[in-house]
Amino acid sequence: MFLKKIIILLFKGREMDKINDLLRYNDISSFDKNVDIALGNVAIYNDRFNAFCRVYYDDINVNRKRINDSILKNKHKKLAGMIVGLKDLFCYMDHPVQAASKILEGFVPSYDATVVRLISEEGGLIIGHQNCDEFGMGSSTTNSIYGESHNLLDYSRTTGGSSGGSSLAVQANMCHISLATDTGGSVRQPASYCGVIGFKPSYGVISRFGVIEHASSFDTVGILGRHIDDISDVFSVISRSDSSDLSMSKHSCSDVENKVYYRVCVLKNTIELGCLQEEVKEGISSFLNKLGSSIILDEIVFDRIEYCSAVYFSLTTIEANSNLARYTGMNYGYRSMDYKSYDEMLINTRSEGFGFEVKKRLLLANYLFETNDVNKYIDKSISLRKYFIDRFVDIFSKYDFIVLPVTTTTAFKIGSHDSERSDWDDILTTLASITGYPAISIPCSCDKDGMPFGVQIIGNIYGDKTLFNFVKLLYNKNII
């Protein structure tokens, strides 16, 4: 056992030794060097571990020169120096985007997603699109036409998903920041497995114009990075109202409340779960013990939490069914060669173009609609969603933050996830998605094999900046 541990550590040491760490983005004099480091890491790791599905070398050369000139003239913008990757769901003008699906083969958008435009306008360097689960449906980046992604710390383990390519790219120092989507945990869960920070904002505060939809009442644009300051800098640039996205909230994120002390509650029934890996249990409890006297800590029970994944899957599959109805082969993307009528074209295009997981969810949605008693599933899910939101309103009238695990375990071996744990993994992240509250996964500790896991902190609705401030405080006090 001991020998095995030493061998694992030696192997990991060698893999990790080859990684060059990116310097901080705001040290702008290092920009050129950073681009070389990032592309060097892409060259060493990408073929094997599969973070980026496309890297845009020609654009990088042009934009790098332009950004460098602005730095030399001291006219650089707020995000100058930042190297950014995009999950394969973000439209980037004149570059293909496919949602990791055959159905979007050949699709090249003629516009930028608003967030992509804002990042570019502020001097960020976009280097490519990243692997993910098809349309963001999955938890291990295995449902992808580009093949699966692998965890840099252990090739046999998952990066998580659906934003696995995005978390891996940050883990492997291929970029400072990845822009991804979090519908039910797709930013927070891979962040936990890869040992990086993953942030899901309050619902509706970041524009989704130009971001390929999964489930519209859940989808958010999330941010992955290594440093909380980088994430909050990007958030301040992209959390703007946008007339192209009418689904945005009218509320803006209030400024930070600086408090003398914070009130935190931990969800007792999540940290005492029988299926929680022992090290995760210990890691979270030692994190809580370190919070100290300036933070008031209580334990509360969140009843009915076990229904989260049922609520999430019934509502998201129905929304996905409607969002994905546009992929007919008629207007863009893949079209089957095998048809004699419009109906046949539609059926064959969708049968050949969508992967197994997407088809499974579309069938489930149709089943939920077809059933004679729609109320049995949908109305119940909607009323449970309301119950969870009411419960959050009540909790946040007494507390500033909720703490819970992000995942039950560290990264599992690809293709071997225990079903009880996988259900609880969905529950732990979908709670904040169902309610629309901001949540973050920050690296907490590691298991005996050196695999990392995060702790999840949920903030009050539109309290995204207060959440960042709290996390900064935790880093400043060496609590994490």
| Residues designated as active site | 87, 162, 186
Distance CA 435, CA 369 (A): 23
The SS3 assignment for 431 reads helix
* 141: contact with ligand GLN by CB under 6 A: no
- What is the distance, to the nearest Å, from the Cα of residue 398 to the centroid of all Cα atoms in its chain? 28
Least separation in angstroms between CB 115 and ligand GLN: 16
Which residue in 34, 114, 144, 162 binds ligand GLN (CB under 6 A)?
A: 162
Instruction: Say how many C-beta atoms besides its own lie within 10 A of residue 39's C-beta.
Output: 18
* 165: contact with ligand GLN by CB under 6 A: no
* 136: contact with ligand GLN by CB under 6 A: yes
Site string for ligand GLN, 336-365 (x = CB under 6 A): ------------------------------
Residues 346, 351, 356, 357: what is their CA dihedral angle, to the nearest 10 degrees? 10
Distance CA 211, CA 479 (A): 36
Q: Measured at CB, which residue is nearest to ligand GLN?
A: 186
* 335: contact with ligand GLN by CB under 6 A: no
Instruction: Say how many C-beta atoms besides its own lie within 10 A of residue 478's C-beta.
Output: 7
Q: Is the CB of 198 or the CB of 329 nearer to ligand GLN?
A: 198
| Residue pointed to by tokens 């046949």 | 344
Residue 456 near residue 406 (C-beta atoms within 8 A): yes
* 184: contact with ligand GLN by CB under 6 A: yes
Which residue in 182, 213, 230, 233 binds ligand GLN (CB under 6 A)?
A: 182
Q: Is the CB of 144 or the CB of 162 nearer to ligand GLN?
A: 162
| Residue pointed to by tokens 């332009």 | 66
Q: Is the CB of 329 or the CB of 355 nearer to ligand GLN?
A: 355
Q: Is the CB of 118 or the CB of 428 nearer to ligand GLN?
A: 428
Cis peptide before 293 (omega within 30 of 0): no
Distance CA 444, CA 453 (A): 6
Query: Which range binds ligand GLN by CB under 6 A, 132-140, 287-295, 301-309, 461-469?
Result: 132-140
Q: Is the CB of 71 or the CB of 113 nearer to ligand GLN?
A: 113
Query: How many residues of this chain bind ligand GLN (CB under 6 A)?
Result: 13
Least separation in angstroms between CB 184 and ligand GLN: 4
Q: Which two tokens stand for residue 38?
A: 């990032």
Q: Is the CB of 439 or the CB of 474 nearer to ligand GLN?
A: 439
Distance CA 381, CA 459 (A): 23
Residue 471 near residue 191 (C-beta atoms within 8 A): no
- Concatenate the DSSP letters of all residues of 34-75 into one string: HHHHHHHHHHHHHHHH--EEEE-HHHHHHHHHHHHHHHHTT-
Q: Is the CB of 124 or the CB of 136 nearer to ligand GLN?
A: 136
Which residue in 50, 141, 183, 314 binds ligand GLN (CB under 6 A)?
A: 183
Which residue in 85, 123, 128, 138 binds ligand GLN (CB under 6 A)?
A: 138
Residue numbers 38-77 binding ligand GLN by CB under 6 A: none
* 131: contact with ligand GLN by CB under 6 A: no
Least separation in angstroms between CB 132 and ligand GLN: 8
Which residue in 185, 405, 436, 454 binds ligand GLN (CB under 6 A)?
A: 185
Burial of 351 (0-12, 13-18, 19+ CB in 10 A): exposed
Run of H or E including 87: strand 83-87
Instruction: Say how many C-beta atoms besides its own lie within 10 A of residue 151's C-beta.
Output: 28
Query: Which range binds ligand GLN by CB under 6 A, 50-58, 115-123, 175-183, 400-408?
Result: 175-183
Residue 104 near residue 98 (C-beta atoms within 8 A): yes
Distance CA 459, CA 454 (A): 16
Q: Is the CB of 400 or the CB of 464 nearer to ligand GLN?
A: 464
Least separation in angstroms between CB 223 and ligand GLN: 14
Distance CA 37, CA 22 (A): 6
Q: Is the CB of 28 or the CB of 53 nearer to ligand GLN?
A: 53
The SS3 assignment for 195 reads coil
* 139: contact with ligand GLN by CB under 6 A: yes
Distance CA 258, CA 61 (A): 43
Which residue in 181, 232, 408, 410 binds ligand GLN (CB under 6 A)?
A: 181
* DSSP E strand boundaries for 262-363: 262-267, 295-300
Least separation in angstroms between CB 332 and ligand GLN: 22
Residue numbers 196-255 binding ligand GLN by CB under 6 A: 214
Instruction: Say how many C-beta atoms besides its own lie within 10 A of residue 450's C-beta.
Output: 16
Instruction: Say how many C-beta atoms besides its own lie within 10 A of residue 74's C-beta.
Output: 7
Query: Which range binds ligand GLN by CB under 6 A, 136-144, 246-254, 367-375, 392-400?
Result: 136-144
Residue 87 near residue 181 (C-beta atoms within 8 A): yes
Which residue in 67, 80, 119, 137 binds ligand GLN (CB under 6 A)?
A: 137
Residue numbers 403-462 binding ligand GLN by CB under 6 A: 426
Least separation in angstroms between CB 219 and ligand GLN: 8
Binding positions for ligand GLN, rule: CB under 6 A:
136-139, 162, 181-186, 214, 426
